[in-house]
Amino acid sequence: MEISDTKLQGLEGGVGVVAGQIRQSLSGYYDIEVDGLIYRTRARGNFRKKNQTPLVGDWVEFKADSQTEGYILKIAARKNRLVRPPVANVDFAIVVTAVKEPVLSTNLLDRQLVMLEKNKITPLLYFSKIDLLNTAEKHKLTKLIAAYAVYYKCFMSPAPAPTELFAGLAGQLGVVMGQTGAGKSTLLNDLKPELELETGVVSKALSRGKHTTRKTALFPLAGTLIADTPGFSSFDLLDVTKEQLGGFFPELRAYSATCKFRSCLHLNEPGCAVKAAVAAGEILESRYLNYVQFQKDISSQKSKYRKS
Protein backbone atom coordinates (compact mmCIF):
# COMPACT_ATOMS: atom_id res chain seq x y z
CA MET A 1 0.00 0.00 0.00
CA GLU A 2 1.39 3.37 -1.01
CA ILE A 3 2.43 5.64 1.87
CA SER A 4 0.92 9.12 1.64
CA ASP A 5 1.79 12.27 3.59
CA THR A 6 -1.62 12.04 5.28
CA LYS A 7 -0.87 8.56 6.63
CA LEU A 8 2.48 9.73 8.00
CA GLN A 9 1.13 12.93 9.56
CA GLY A 10 3.06 13.75 12.73
CA LEU A 11 6.07 11.55 11.98
CA GLU A 12 9.40 13.37 11.75
CA GLY A 13 11.90 10.67 10.77
CA GLY A 14 15.57 10.67 11.77
CA VAL A 15 18.80 8.70 11.47
CA GLY A 16 18.04 5.00 11.39
CA VAL A 17 14.31 5.64 11.80
CA VAL A 18 11.93 3.80 9.44
CA ALA A 19 8.22 4.40 8.78
CA GLY A 20 5.82 1.53 8.23
CA GLN A 21 2.39 0.13 9.03
CA ILE A 22 1.54 -2.33 11.81
CA ARG A 23 0.13 -5.43 10.13
CA GLN A 24 -0.26 -7.70 13.18
CA SER A 25 -0.33 -7.51 16.98
CA LEU A 26 0.07 -10.51 19.27
CA SER A 27 1.10 -10.70 22.94
CA GLY A 28 2.77 -7.29 23.01
CA TYR A 29 4.62 -7.72 19.72
CA TYR A 30 3.88 -5.64 16.61
CA ASP A 31 4.76 -6.79 13.11
CA ILE A 32 5.44 -3.84 10.80
CA GLU A 33 5.55 -4.03 7.00
CA VAL A 34 8.07 -1.97 5.03
CA ASP A 35 8.63 -2.56 1.32
CA GLY A 36 7.46 -6.15 1.54
CA LEU A 37 9.56 -7.00 4.62
CA ILE A 38 8.12 -7.66 8.10
CA TYR A 39 9.86 -6.33 11.23
CA ARG A 40 8.87 -7.65 14.67
CA THR A 41 8.89 -4.83 17.23
CA ARG A 42 7.76 -3.85 20.70
CA ALA A 43 6.45 -0.52 21.99
CA ARG A 44 8.78 1.64 24.06
CA GLY A 45 7.95 2.09 27.73
CA ASN A 46 6.97 5.74 27.35
CA PHE A 47 3.85 4.69 25.42
CA ARG A 48 2.46 3.18 28.62
CA LYS A 49 3.24 6.39 30.53
CA LYS A 50 1.34 8.38 27.87
CA ASN A 51 -1.54 5.86 27.99
CA GLN A 52 -0.99 5.06 24.31
CA THR A 53 -1.25 1.65 22.67
CA PRO A 54 -0.13 0.93 19.09
CA LEU A 55 -2.87 -0.68 17.01
CA VAL A 56 -2.97 -2.75 13.86
CA GLY A 57 -3.36 -0.28 10.99
CA ASP A 58 -1.25 2.40 12.67
CA TRP A 59 1.48 4.11 10.70
CA VAL A 60 4.53 4.33 12.96
CA GLU A 61 8.19 5.23 13.20
CA PHE A 62 10.51 2.52 14.51
CA LYS A 63 14.11 1.42 14.77
CA ALA A 64 15.25 -2.16 14.25
CA ASP A 65 18.66 -3.84 14.56
CA SER A 66 17.20 -6.80 12.67
CA GLN A 67 13.83 -8.08 11.44
CA THR A 68 13.24 -9.68 14.84
CA GLU A 69 14.45 -6.91 17.17
CA GLY A 70 12.98 -3.45 16.97
CA TYR A 71 10.99 -0.87 18.93
CA ILE A 72 8.30 1.63 18.00
CA LEU A 73 9.15 5.30 18.54
CA LYS A 74 6.06 7.22 17.46
CA ILE A 75 2.52 6.75 16.15
CA ALA A 76 1.21 8.93 13.30
CA ALA A 77 -2.07 10.82 13.65
CA ARG A 78 -5.00 8.42 13.16
CA LYS A 79 -7.96 8.75 10.82
CA ASN A 80 -10.03 6.81 13.34
CA ARG A 81 -9.76 4.10 15.96
CA LEU A 82 -12.04 1.19 16.71
CA VAL A 83 -12.19 -0.39 20.16
CA ARG A 84 -13.85 -3.64 19.07
CA PRO A 85 -12.13 -4.64 16.82
CA PRO A 86 -8.91 -2.84 17.90
CA VAL A 87 -7.82 -1.43 14.53
CA ALA A 88 -6.85 2.08 13.40
CA ASN A 89 -7.22 3.99 10.12
CA VAL A 90 -10.15 1.94 8.88
CA ASP A 91 -11.83 2.83 5.56
CA PHE A 92 -14.56 0.18 5.32
CA ALA A 93 -16.07 -2.68 7.32
CA ILE A 94 -17.67 -5.95 6.28
CA VAL A 95 -20.36 -6.50 8.91
CA VAL A 96 -21.10 -10.24 9.02
CA THR A 97 -24.57 -10.99 10.39
CA ALA A 98 -25.82 -14.56 10.80
CA VAL A 99 -29.51 -15.00 9.98
CA LYS A 100 -29.63 -18.15 12.13
CA GLU A 101 -27.37 -19.86 14.70
CA PRO A 102 -26.93 -17.34 16.27
CA VAL A 103 -30.33 -15.69 15.83
CA LEU A 104 -30.38 -12.54 13.69
CA SER A 105 -30.14 -9.45 15.91
CA THR A 106 -31.00 -6.18 14.16
CA ASN A 107 -30.23 -4.43 17.45
CA LEU A 108 -26.60 -5.56 17.33
CA LEU A 109 -26.39 -4.85 13.60
CA ASP A 110 -27.69 -1.31 14.06
CA ARG A 111 -25.31 -0.69 16.98
CA GLN A 112 -22.41 -1.59 14.73
CA LEU A 113 -23.73 0.63 11.93
CA VAL A 114 -24.03 3.60 14.32
CA MET A 115 -20.43 3.13 15.39
CA LEU A 116 -19.24 2.88 11.78
CA GLU A 117 -21.21 5.98 10.74
CA LYS A 118 -19.70 7.87 13.67
CA ASN A 119 -16.18 6.94 12.56
CA LYS A 120 -16.88 7.66 8.87
CA ILE A 121 -16.32 4.03 7.91
CA THR A 122 -18.19 2.62 4.89
CA PRO A 123 -20.24 -0.47 5.89
CA LEU A 124 -20.71 -3.51 3.64
CA LEU A 125 -23.41 -5.85 5.01
CA TYR A 126 -22.95 -9.60 4.58
CA PHE A 127 -25.78 -11.87 5.73
CA SER A 128 -24.50 -15.41 6.37
CA LYS A 129 -26.07 -18.86 6.79
CA ILE A 130 -28.90 -18.22 4.33
CA ASP A 131 -29.00 -21.95 3.62
CA LEU A 132 -30.38 -22.59 7.13
CA LEU A 133 -33.63 -20.72 6.40
CA ASN A 134 -36.88 -22.19 5.13
CA THR A 135 -38.85 -20.55 2.31
CA ALA A 136 -40.97 -18.33 4.57
CA GLU A 137 -37.93 -17.18 6.54
CA LYS A 138 -36.06 -16.36 3.33
CA HIS A 139 -39.00 -14.26 2.09
CA LYS A 140 -39.06 -12.29 5.36
CA LEU A 141 -35.30 -11.80 5.27
CA THR A 142 -35.38 -10.58 1.66
CA LYS A 143 -37.75 -7.77 2.66
CA LEU A 144 -35.51 -6.83 5.59
CA ILE A 145 -32.37 -6.74 3.47
CA ALA A 146 -34.13 -4.66 0.80
CA ALA A 147 -34.76 -1.95 3.42
CA TYR A 148 -31.07 -1.89 4.42
CA ALA A 149 -29.95 -1.99 0.78
CA VAL A 150 -31.43 1.48 0.21
CA TYR A 151 -28.56 2.92 2.24
CA TYR A 152 -25.95 0.16 2.46
CA LYS A 153 -24.31 -2.25 0.04
CA CYS A 154 -25.65 -5.71 0.94
CA PHE A 155 -24.57 -9.29 0.15
CA MET A 156 -25.91 -12.71 1.10
CA SER A 157 -24.16 -16.07 1.43
CA PRO A 158 -22.69 -17.86 -0.40
CA ALA A 159 -19.77 -15.44 -0.60
CA PRO A 160 -19.62 -13.21 -3.69
CA ALA A 161 -16.51 -13.03 -5.86
CA PRO A 162 -13.79 -10.83 -4.29
CA THR A 163 -13.93 -8.49 -7.29
CA GLU A 164 -17.63 -7.88 -6.58
CA LEU A 165 -17.32 -7.48 -2.81
CA PHE A 166 -14.29 -5.18 -2.95
CA ALA A 167 -15.27 -3.16 -6.03
CA GLY A 168 -13.99 0.40 -5.70
CA LEU A 169 -12.03 -0.31 -2.50
CA ALA A 170 -8.52 -0.88 -3.85
CA GLY A 171 -5.80 0.47 -1.56
CA GLN A 172 -8.15 0.74 1.42
CA LEU A 173 -8.08 -0.92 4.85
CA GLY A 174 -11.10 -2.84 6.08
CA VAL A 175 -12.24 -4.92 9.01
CA VAL A 176 -14.45 -8.00 9.14
CA MET A 177 -16.65 -7.72 12.20
CA GLY A 178 -19.76 -9.23 13.71
CA GLN A 179 -21.23 -11.39 16.43
CA THR A 180 -19.32 -14.43 17.64
CA GLY A 181 -20.15 -17.41 15.44
CA ALA A 182 -21.55 -15.31 12.60
CA GLY A 183 -19.07 -16.70 10.09
CA LYS A 184 -16.36 -14.05 9.67
CA SER A 185 -13.47 -16.49 9.28
CA THR A 186 -15.61 -18.70 7.04
CA LEU A 187 -16.22 -15.73 4.74
CA LEU A 188 -12.51 -14.91 4.57
CA ASN A 189 -11.65 -18.54 3.84
CA ASP A 190 -14.19 -18.51 1.00
CA LEU A 191 -12.68 -15.31 -0.40
CA LYS A 192 -9.07 -16.45 0.03
CA PRO A 193 -8.78 -20.22 0.77
CA GLU A 194 -5.03 -20.10 1.33
CA LEU A 195 -5.62 -18.18 4.59
CA GLU A 196 -6.90 -21.40 6.19
CA LEU A 197 -8.32 -19.50 9.16
CA GLU A 198 -9.72 -21.59 12.00
CA THR A 199 -13.50 -21.52 12.20
CA GLY A 200 -15.66 -22.11 15.25
CA VAL A 201 -18.66 -24.27 16.04
CA VAL A 202 -21.76 -22.59 17.43
CA SER A 203 -23.11 -23.97 20.69
CA LYS A 204 -26.82 -24.70 20.23
CA ALA A 205 -27.39 -24.40 23.97
CA LEU A 206 -25.94 -20.89 24.14
CA SER A 207 -26.34 -19.90 20.47
CA ARG A 208 -22.81 -18.54 20.67
CA GLY A 209 -19.67 -19.39 18.80
CA LYS A 210 -16.33 -20.27 20.27
CA HIS A 211 -13.77 -17.46 20.14
CA THR A 212 -11.43 -18.81 17.48
CA THR A 213 -9.56 -15.65 16.38
CA ARG A 214 -6.75 -15.01 18.89
CA LYS A 215 -4.92 -12.14 17.24
CA THR A 216 -5.55 -9.10 15.10
CA ALA A 217 -3.85 -9.18 11.72
CA LEU A 218 -4.12 -7.61 8.27
CA PHE A 219 -4.27 -9.80 5.17
CA PRO A 220 -3.86 -8.56 1.58
CA LEU A 221 -7.04 -9.42 -0.30
CA ALA A 222 -8.23 -8.24 -3.72
CA GLY A 223 -6.14 -5.08 -3.55
CA THR A 224 -7.19 -4.21 0.02
CA LEU A 225 -5.95 -4.97 3.51
CA ILE A 226 -8.44 -6.87 5.68
CA ALA A 227 -8.42 -7.49 9.43
CA ASP A 228 -9.84 -10.73 10.78
CA THR A 229 -10.83 -9.93 14.34
CA PRO A 230 -12.26 -11.62 17.45
CA GLY A 231 -16.03 -12.01 17.57
CA PHE A 232 -18.25 -10.58 20.27
CA SER A 233 -21.82 -10.81 21.50
CA SER A 234 -22.38 -7.25 22.74
CA PHE A 235 -21.57 -3.76 21.50
CA ASP A 236 -21.72 -0.55 23.55
CA LEU A 237 -22.53 2.85 22.09
CA LEU A 238 -19.36 4.71 22.96
CA ASP A 239 -19.16 8.51 23.00
CA VAL A 240 -22.46 9.05 21.18
CA THR A 241 -24.79 11.78 22.46
CA LYS A 242 -28.59 11.74 22.17
CA GLU A 243 -28.36 14.75 19.84
CA GLN A 244 -25.87 13.00 17.54
CA LEU A 245 -27.59 9.61 17.37
CA GLY A 246 -30.21 10.42 14.70
CA GLY A 247 -27.49 11.66 12.36
CA PHE A 248 -25.94 8.18 12.32
CA PHE A 249 -29.11 6.63 10.85
CA PRO A 250 -29.13 7.73 7.17
CA GLU A 251 -32.91 7.35 6.81
CA LEU A 252 -33.58 9.41 9.96
CA ARG A 253 -31.09 11.98 8.74
CA ALA A 254 -32.92 12.24 5.42
CA TYR A 255 -36.36 12.81 6.96
CA SER A 256 -35.30 14.99 9.91
CA ALA A 257 -34.86 18.02 7.65
CA THR A 258 -38.65 18.38 7.50
CA CYS A 259 -39.33 17.90 11.21
CA LYS A 260 -41.18 20.82 12.84
CA PHE A 261 -38.36 21.42 15.31
CA ARG A 262 -34.70 21.56 14.28
CA SER A 263 -33.67 19.89 17.55
CA CYS A 264 -36.22 17.06 17.15
CA LEU A 265 -35.05 13.80 18.72
CA HIS A 266 -37.87 11.87 16.98
CA LEU A 267 -39.27 10.62 20.27
CA ASN A 268 -42.22 12.62 21.68
CA GLU A 269 -42.01 15.86 19.70
CA PRO A 270 -45.01 17.01 17.63
CA GLY A 271 -44.62 17.43 13.87
CA CYS A 272 -41.89 14.76 13.62
CA ALA A 273 -41.33 13.74 9.99
CA VAL A 274 -39.38 10.65 11.07
CA LYS A 275 -42.26 9.21 13.12
CA ALA A 276 -44.63 9.96 10.24
CA ALA A 277 -42.32 8.07 7.86
CA VAL A 278 -42.24 5.09 10.23
CA ALA A 279 -46.05 5.07 10.41
CA ALA A 280 -46.22 5.21 6.60
CA GLY A 281 -43.83 2.28 6.24
CA GLU A 282 -41.14 4.45 4.64
CA ILE A 283 -38.68 3.76 7.47
CA LEU A 284 -38.16 0.21 8.74
CA GLU A 285 -39.95 -0.07 12.09
CA SER A 286 -37.22 -2.21 13.66
CA ARG A 287 -34.63 0.44 12.80
CA TYR A 288 -36.71 3.13 14.52
CA LEU A 289 -37.38 0.93 17.57
CA ASN A 290 -33.65 0.25 17.86
CA TYR A 291 -33.04 4.00 17.64
CA VAL A 292 -35.47 4.55 20.52
CA GLN A 293 -33.73 1.83 22.55
CA PHE A 294 -30.34 3.40 21.87
CA GLN A 295 -31.65 6.75 23.11
CA LYS A 296 -32.69 5.04 26.36
CA ASP A 297 -29.29 3.38 26.63
CA ILE A 298 -27.49 6.69 26.15
CA SER A 299 -29.66 8.40 28.78
CA SER A 300 -29.00 5.51 31.17
CA GLN A 301 -25.24 5.76 30.63
CA LYS A 302 -25.30 9.50 31.31
CA SER A 303 -27.33 9.00 34.50
CA LYS A 304 -24.86 6.42 35.84
CA TYR A 305 -21.97 8.76 35.02
CA ARG A 306 -23.58 11.66 36.88
CA LYS A 307 -24.20 9.48 39.95
CA SER A 308 -20.60 8.30 40.01
Residues annotated within the binding site for GTP are 128-131, 178-186
Q: Which of 72, 61, 63 is nearest to 20 (CA)?
A: 61
* ∠ CA 125-129-131, rounded to 5°: 125
Question: From CA 57, how far away is CA 86, in angstroms rounded?
Answer: 9
- Widest CA span of the chain, in angstroms? 67
Q: Regarding beta strands 92-98 and 122-128, do their DSSP bridges make them parallel or antiparallel, or are they unpaired?
A: parallel
- Cα dihedral 234, 109, 215, 50 sign: negative
Question: From CA 144, how far away is CA 138, in angstroms rounded?
Answer: 10
Residues that constitute the known binding site for Zn(2+): 259, 264, 266, 272
* Beta strand extents in 104-182 (DSSP E only): 122-128, 153-156, 173-178
Question: From CA 165, how far away is CA 123, in angstroms rounded?
Answer: 12
Tell me the sheet residues that pair with 31.
24, 40
Question: From CA 229, how far away is CA 134, in angstroms rounded?
Answer: 30
Peptide bond into 250 cis (omega under 30): no
Tell me the sheet residues that pair with 43.
72
Report helix angle 285-307 to 106-118, nearest 10: 70
Q: What is the DSSP letter of 245?
A: H
Tell me the sheet residues that pair with 39.
32
